Amino acid sequence: MHIIAGLGNPGTRYHMTRHNVGFETIDFLAAQYRLTNFRSRHKALISEGMIQGKKVMLVKPQTYMNNSGESLAEILSYYRADPGKLIVIYDDIDLDPGKLRIRQKGGPGTHNGMRSIVSLLKTEDFPRVRIGIGKPAPQMDLSNFVLSKFTDEERRLVNEAIEKAVLAVATMVCASVEVAMGKYNG
């Protein structure tokens, strides 16, 4: 079973903000594959089902971004899942809005949600899909920026990236991370 986690912050206050593109991607993935029956378990909203014949669990941690690892560590422990079967989808300020970057593994960078996950799982060896949200203006506080909404043009680009991310995740689940990287990185 693949565990596909999108990072974000719970609550309407954070809906459609830059930091919540992981949640948006999970919602789009759930709609595409009719996996919209989410329930609350393991400090997360979880939906289970199939993507092209492969068993998956969609996860939206409800611990707030900076503690995302609490939920994912609990899920991986409970299901005795290999971290290599975890796919994490999250926002990245180091990529232009709408750019997609898939990696087999790697460090958390400056992303606090990823820092929490790496710290609690005690490994960096799990695939991830990063969606570019752009950088803040020099005078803007980073936390204010990631909690802000996109401009109309950025929203268009990010929506396209979310659609590609859903295709990439399906490719990761049904083929491999390497195939997805070759097809969707750019």
Backbone angles phi, psi at 80, to 5 degrees: 50, 45
> 132 by DSSP, 3-state: which?
strand
| Contacts of 16 by beta carbon, 8 Å cutoff, 6+ apart | 24, 149, 150
| Range list of β-strands (E), 31-155 | 39-41, 44-51, 54-61, 86-92, 100-103, 128-132
> How many Cβ atoms sit within 10 Å of the Cβ of residue 13?
8
Is 111 marked active-site?
no
Write down the catalytic residue from 2, 19, 42, 111: 19
Q: Which residues contact 60 (CB under 8 A, 6 or more apart)?
A: 5, 6, 8, 10, 22, 23, 26, 38, 44, 45, 46
Identify the CA nearest to 172 among candidates 160, 154, 185: 185
| Catalytic residue set | 19
